[in-house]
Amino acid sequence: MTPMHRPATITLRTSLFEDAVAIVESEYASDLSLDDIARRVASSRRQLQRAYSEIGSTTFREHLTAVRMERAADLLGIRGLTVRDVAHRVGYRQPAQFAKAFRRHHGIAPSDFRANGRFGRPEVAVAAADGAAA
């Protein structure tokens, strides 16, 4: 059962969540932390955790990983980018750690994902790569 909150609380948490999502969407490749995001949206760590839980039905870490894995799937469709390149572009320093997270998220290793052609539309992948390179 969802706890009852005042409309102002719901509005505040929705705003915090949306602001955090915007930062993650644009800066997923950098070294983001919950504390950093909370500071940037002028909130406490705990309030941001609550916003993720109640508004987004997720956690900060799960959201960041999901964004990174979706971008990685797009990038794997680009010829000339190695799995190591993709790992670095989506914020992983260690390709093995990236491969493990990718496998957990997509159910398939990045190299197999690429070999099977299981990526999105090519124009989306190119746009994602251009954005990541900028």
CA dihedral 18, 21, 26, 29 (to 10 degrees): 160
- Distance (Å, rounded) from C-alpha 24 to C-alpha 37? 9
**Cα of 10 vs its chain's centroid, Å:** 23
- Residue-wise pLDDT for 71-87, tens only, equals 999 999 988 899 999 99
- Residue-wise pLDDT for 20-48, tens only, equals 999 999 999 999 999 999 999 999 999 99
